[in-house]
Amino acid sequence: MASSADRDAFEVCGRCGEPLAGTDWYPATTRLRADGTRLVFSFCDRHCLAAWDRPD
């Protein structure tokens, strides 16, 4: 069962917080935390993904 955190990851952009419509494809990525928890992040477009992935 998906947690509320998983659901939220697909409802708003992981970087800018822009709501995602849910009907289109959005770029997403995952991070594996040290404790083994897999975090999923989705983004409104590839630019937000790139900026989030490389903050510099």
Residues making contact with Zn ion (CB under 5 A): 13, 15-16, 18, 44, 48
Joined tokens for residue 43 = 């983004």
Nearer to Zn ion, 8 or 18 (CB): 18
CB of 3 to Zn ion, least distance (A): 22
Nearer to Zn ion, 16 or 37 (CB): 16
Cβ atoms within 10 A of the Cβ of 5, count?
10
Strand partners, 32: 38
Among 54, 36, 44, 35, residue whose Cα is nearest residue 9: 44
Nearer to Zn ion, 16 or 50 (CB): 16
